[in-house]
A and B are shown apart, each in its own frame.
Chain A
Amino acid sequence: EAGVTQFPSHSVIEKGQTVTLRCDPISGHDNLYWYRRVMGKEIKFLLHFVKESKQDESGMPNNRFLAERTGGTYSTLKVQPAELEDSGVYFCASSPSAAGGFYEQYFGPGTRLTVT
């Protein structure tokens, strides 16, 4: 079974440019999460999809970030325009639905974003 995949693995862009990150969850997983780790800090939650709906987007830092999950399969996270402080590693995770909501999350390898 394929795990969670993310593309690209590394992106270097200039301040003001746009970048789109992609996440392909494990097939059949309804839940998809985006997280971010900035240099030297802990991983932080960005948002949570259940199928194609945004269940919780309380962690999105500002309106320069836009996440979509059309059709409830893969998801994209667009940063427009990128700022220096957006540099970090963006992780995607997915999990199946479970009665009572207790579930395991499977992480992708992350996309390292560098904004110069």
Chain B
Amino acid sequence: KNQVEQSPQSLIILEGKNCTLQCNYTVSPFSNLRWYKQDTGRGPVSLTIMTFSENTKSNGRYTATLDADTKQSSLHITASQLSDSASYICVVSLRNTGGFKTIFGAGTRLFVKA
């Protein structure tokens, strides 16, 4: 069964600290993995996209890693800011005969406190 599991479910950190969010997936055949940030009341916004051959991708203070062998990804946030408070969603796409199918994780809710 194609699934995307994220951990932790929620996380509270102090402003300025680093954190790492995890994503494990059982999706096949794998096409790409994306991390999205979703602020309350808004749609998800893409942070990084990685294909099978990529094992790290950065976007400012966000760095995503991908281990396609163990089917794990992480999103590392450096020097967190209050504006990083949001849900972070891991999305894995698979390619089938009909095109692409996307499987969403339930997200990690991050709270950054002053």
Contact = CB atoms under 8 A, between A and B. Distances in A.
A46 B51 CA distance: 24
B49 interface: yes
A93 interface: yes
- Central interface residue in B43, B45, B104, B105, by most chain A CB within 10 Å: B43
Interface in B17-50: 31-32, 36, 41-46, 49
B104 A42 contact: yes
B60 interface: no
A105 B89 CA distance: 14
B43 A4 contact: yes
Interface string A84-107: 000000010100000001101111
A101 B84 CA distance: 31
Interface in B79-113: 89, 95, 98-102, 104-107
Contacts of A45: 101-102
Nearest to B96: A56
Nearest to B44: A107
Contact-residue bracket for chain B = 20 to 34
Q: Is the interface of B mostly helix, strand, loop or mixed?
A: strand
B99 A101 contact: yes
Given A102-B31, A102-B51, A56 B43 contact: no
A71 to B, nearest CB: 21
A105 B46 contact: yes
A101 B104 contact: no
A41 B31 contact: no
Contacts of A55: 98-99
A56 B89 contact: no
A102 B49 CA distance: 10
Contacts of B41: 109-110
A109 B99 contact: no
Interface of B: 4, 31-32, 36, 41-46, 49, 51, 89, 95, 98-102, 104-107
